[in-house]
Amino acid sequence: MKLKYIYIVLLGLGSTSVLAQQKTATPVVVKADTAKKVDPLKAIIAKNTIIKKGLFNVYQTGDKYYFEIPDSLLKREMLLTNWLVKVPGGSPKYGGEQMGQKTLLFDRGVGKKINLRVVTLGTKADSTSTIYKAVANSNIDAIAMVFELKARGEGDRSSFIDVTDFLQKENSFTKINDEVQKRLNLGGMAADRSYLQKVSVYPINIEMKSVRTYSATAPAKPTPASPVIDAAKLGNAITLEVSTSILLMPKTPMVPREFDLRVGYFADGYIPLSDGQQNFEFKSYIVRYNLMPKAEDMAKYKKGELVEPREPIVYYIDPATPKQWRPYLIQGINDWNEAFKAAGFKNAIVGKEWPENDTTMSLEDARYKILRYLPSETANAYGPNIHDPRSGEILQSYIGWYHNVMSLVHDWYMLQASPSDPRARTMTFSDELMGELIRFVSSHEVGHTLGLRHNMGSSSLTPVEKLRDKAWVEKNGHSNSIMDYARFNYVAQPEDNISAAGIMPRINDYDKWAIKWGYSYVGAKDVEADRKIVSKWVTDSLKANPRLWFGGEGMNNDARCQTEDVGDNSMQASEYGIKNLKYVAKNLPEWTKEEGDLYKNLSQMFVQLVNQYNRYVNHVTKNIGSVYETIKYPQDEGDSYASAPVDKQREAVAFLNKQVFETPTWLLDENILNKIGNPIRYSSVRIIQERQINAVFSDRVFNTLYMMEERYGKGNTYAINALLGDMKAGVWSELTTKQPIDQFRRDVQKAYVNALLRSMKEAEIGNNAVGILFGGTQAAEMLPLTTGSDIGALIAVHLEDLRKDLLAATPTTADADSKAHLQYVAEYIRKAMSKRFGK
């Protein structure tokens, strides 16, 4: 029966008066045609809607954007990463740098809602354990955003949500991170000058690019970390181009490999919980690609035959890269195949040129790993990765290659290698030489993308004299790892006739071993089973070959683990390095000569030469008060910590006395200085000398020497009094030789006294902790005696003895300037000590 009208009668249960009112009420009439359901999809998918299909289908209808989320992807974990794409000139942050990362998932909310949750991985437990329920109850993922369900997709298998505001407005997922805001001095976002630029969709990722403008001001106190940016100074605004990426993670995480401190991998981690556990212990696992043999090759792999991986690691070269450098970048990538052979794989990593005519491929597609060429004046390169926080599996990776990295390697190579390699004696290298340098940097950065950290201790395993042995060094290389900052073999002398094979870094024994340990497939079912196998590999390998030692990032107090150094003895290596620098300095005016240059080249390279000299000196100073740190597990032999040998520390002081505190006149060549600098400018030689005095007489050195003597006993370590005696013998040698004291030496000697007075004060305040706690610094200074340390007393006695020696030497000093200087310093010490102790 068809009804033309539907009558709706409101009935209630109540008093008769209410019933009477209802009987006389006018009926509400609704036409049947208007009661039909309106298809909400038609409001989303219109005639002019732009549809992009991929991980989520993205629909753009006018100024509205919608995600179509398949039900199969609800509760699937994804990584959201924010990047800087373009920045203003002068920015301390650069295009290509990551700004933060979150793990997220979408799930159904209450009613017609879709939740966006932030996933945290702090603790986890095996699902078969009783404690699993407690962990689940204690780790609910926060609902960060809620979206209205606008429609269901065809077949009722997907959900449409409006993401217009999510894409166009800043929120907790897409905002600029705190570091960038602080360093660029950013204020609020200007909505009228900010917009969504592009949304690109691919099978496993979505890329959203935006242009954002922020209010900005020049910092009141500029620093290198937060400089004045012209855009902020002139327009009170900064515009950035940023990208937000959503990347689908594997449904089932790969089996992690537990991090081992003895092998240099980047790591991530969590706190595992179990029923039998009695304390909390942070567990971490290495970051690496999921490299596995093909199923049909598994038997061959287990027998030790080289096989190709199921999915090789392929890096494409950005088509913006100059063509002459592409083959060298590719070689730097492919060089790692030698290391992967140690893990049982051949053709495991491949470098390729980007197929520019293939319209099916995009540089933003997360399935492709890219070496991105960045037209920046920054002299650097870097190799980040995005990995699964549940397992450490690398999911997305690229190499950032700044154009100006070539100036960096040019200066390094000219200063360190030109005595041995005539090709380096010019301001413009041949394409062949520059290509070799690019290849080395490429290999180093690829190592980072594979999960490897710097191994700053590797180069210390090579005896210095082997660096001058042509046959040995050309066969074995000057550093055991390309992941060290060993740069080039600056020890080799011109007469050694060592070729580039013994000068340049290469992928070497440590790198091969680290790849073998991290990438060998063992087929373990869980992380604990895997750990039992691979942990023993490290113990056995290091016992058999100590040259496989991982020395860390060089952030500790171990002189063996320094950046930019080579060889097992900093003093010997630096002496050879300085000998080469003298050779370079003598020839620098000729090598830097170019028509119309106005000595810009000479100035640039002389500054770099002084910086290189300073590096050599720093390498030596680090040996004084050094503590050797060698990570050991209970099953390993030997101690983890030891004081640096006394003879090496004394050798370091002797080097400084000769090469630094005695005026390095070779750096005062008027043939160079009169062409590049006004004589009224402060001398870099003075700066270096004063810095080294301060470094030797520092809290680090004094406290370390004091504690080492406390631990190992008097006479078994380099004592503070021994250091002071050795320094005095060198810096104040004129007290016995009666030689005139030149201007630079007089400044060194004044710096000596000032540094000791400062260290004495710091020792007294630092150890009088009770005075600081209850009465502040002033109260601590008023305490009659320094507690907890004799450092202040030892320095005070040394200064008093020095004052007496100065007074004794003054009458027999013939040079008038020197005599006046000694009298002045003696009186200066007297006044400083009187003020300190109230005498």
3-state SS track over 173-226: CCCCCHHHHHHHCEEEECHHHCEEEEEEECCCEEEEEEEEEEEECCCCCCECCE
The verdict on 188 and 315 lying in the same domain is no
User: Residues with Cβ < 8 Å from 102, sequence gap 6 or more?
Assistant: 79, 80, 118, 119, 173
CA-CA distance, 769 to 771, in Å (whole number)?
5
Is residue 523 one of the residues assigned to a domain?
A: yes
Q: How far are the Cα atoms of 360, 621, 662, 723 from residue 691, in angstroms, in the given order?
A: 58, 10, 14, 17
| Residue position matching structure tokens 């310093």 | 825
Q: Name the residue among 311, 323, 405, 385 with its Cα closest to residue 356.
A: 323
CA-CA distance, 206 to 202, in Å (whole number)?
6
H or E segment to which residue 386 belongs:
strand 385-387
The verdict on 521 and 406 lying in the same domain is yes
CA-CA distance, 383 to 369, in Å (whole number)?
11
Contact assessment for residue 80 and residue 228, using Cβ atoms and an 8 Å cutoff = no
The verdict on 340 and 465 lying in the same domain is yes
Q: Could you say which of 553, 586, 609 is where a domain stops? A: 553
Q: Could you say which of 522, 553, 584 is where a domain stops? A: 553
Half-sphere exposure of 806 (CA within 13 A, CB side): 27
The verdict on 359 and 477 lying in the same domain is yes
pLDDT at 564: 95
pLDDT at 19: 35
CA-CA distance, 815 to 265, in Å (whole number)?
60
User: Residues with Cβ < 8 Å from 769, sequence gap 6 or more?
Assistant: 787, 788
H or E segment to which residue 148 belongs:
strand 142-152
Task: Retrieve residue 762's tokens.
Answer: 């710091």
Is residue 156 one of the residues assigned to a domain?
A: yes
Domain count, the chain: 4
Strands (E), 227-278: 237-248, 267-273
Helix 791-809 and helix 699-712, axial crossing angle in degrees, nearest 10 = 110
The verdict on 373 and 236 lying in the same domain is no
Alpha helix positions (H), 348-486? 405-417, 431-449, 470-476
SS3 551: coil
Question: Residues of the chain whose pLDDT is less than 50?
Answer: 1-26, 28-30, 32, 34-35, 123-137, 273-275, 277-278, 769-784
The pLDDT tens digits of the residues spanning 616-667 come to 999 999 999 999 999 999 989 899 999 999 999 999 999 999 999 999 999 9
User: Residues with Cβ < 8 Å from 242, sequence gap 6 or more?
Assistant: 82, 83, 84, 85, 99, 174, 176, 209, 210, 212
DSSP 140: P
CA-CA distance, 244 to 247, in Å (whole number)?
10
Domain of 34, in residue numbers: 5-41
SS3 81: strand
pLDDT at 337: 98
Is residue 430 one of the residues assigned to a domain?
A: yes
SS3 553: coil
Is residue 395 one of the residues assigned to a domain?
A: yes
Task: Please give the backbone phi and psi of residue 191, each rounded to the nearest 5 degrees, phi first.
Answer: -60, -35
| Other CB atoms within 10 Å distance of the CB of residue 555 | 10
β-strand partners of 497: none
Is residue 282 one of the residues assigned to a domain?
A: no
Is residue 386 one of the residues assigned to a domain?
A: yes
User: Residues with Cβ < 8 Å from 715, sequence gap 6 or more?
Assistant: none
CA-CA distance, 752 to 694, in Å (whole number)?
8
pLDDT at 771: 44
The verdict on 32 and 116 lying in the same domain is no
Contact assessment for residue 285 and residue 269, using Cβ atoms and an 8 Å cutoff = yes
Task: Retrieve residue 604's tokens.
Answer: 């640039």
Task: Retrieve residue 826's tokens.
Answer: 């003696």
CA-CA distance, 499 to 810, in Å (whole number)?
54
Is residue 353 one of the residues assigned to a domain?
A: yes
The verdict on 33 and 131 lying in the same domain is no
CA-CA distance, 28 to 520, in Å (whole number)?
77
CA 192 and chain centroid, separation? 36
Q: Could you say which of 520, 553, 586 is where a domain stops? A: 553
Task: Retrieve residue 506's tokens.
Answer: 């290469």
Is residue 538 one of the residues assigned to a domain?
A: yes
Per-residue exposure over 13-33, b if at least 16 CB sit within 10 Å of its own CB, e if not = eeeeeeeeeeeeeeeeeeeee
The verdict on 313 and 227 lying in the same domain is no
Q: Name the residue among 307, 290, 289 with its Cα closest to residue 344.
A: 307
pTM of the model: 0.86
| 265-270 CB contacts, 8 Å cutoff, 24+ apart | 265/451, 265/452, 265/453, 265/514, 265/518, 266/385, 266/451, 266/452, 266/453, 267/392, 268/387, 268/389, 268/392, 270/121, 270/122, 270/123, 270/124
Sign of the alpha-carbon torsion through 827, 832, 835, 837: negative
Count of H helices and E strands in the chain?
26, 25
The verdict on 683 and 791 lying in the same domain is yes
pLDDT at 681: 60
Longest dimension (CA), the chain: 132
Rounded to 5°, angle at Cα 116 from 112 and 120: 140
Task: Please give the backbone phi and psi of residue 611, each rounded to the nearest 5 degrees, phi first.
Answer: -60, -40
CA-CA distance, 39 to 735, in Å (whole number)?
99
The verdict on 31 and 55 lying in the same domain is no
Per-residue exposure over 452-475, b if at least 16 CB sit within 10 Å of its own CB, e if not = bbbbbbbbbbbebebbbbeebbee
The verdict on 223 and 317 lying in the same domain is no
SS3 32: helix
Strands (E), 293-368: 313-317, 349-353
Task: Retrieve residue 670's tokens.
Answer: 């008027």
The verdict on 229 and 116 lying in the same domain is yes
Alpha helix positions (H), 249-293? none
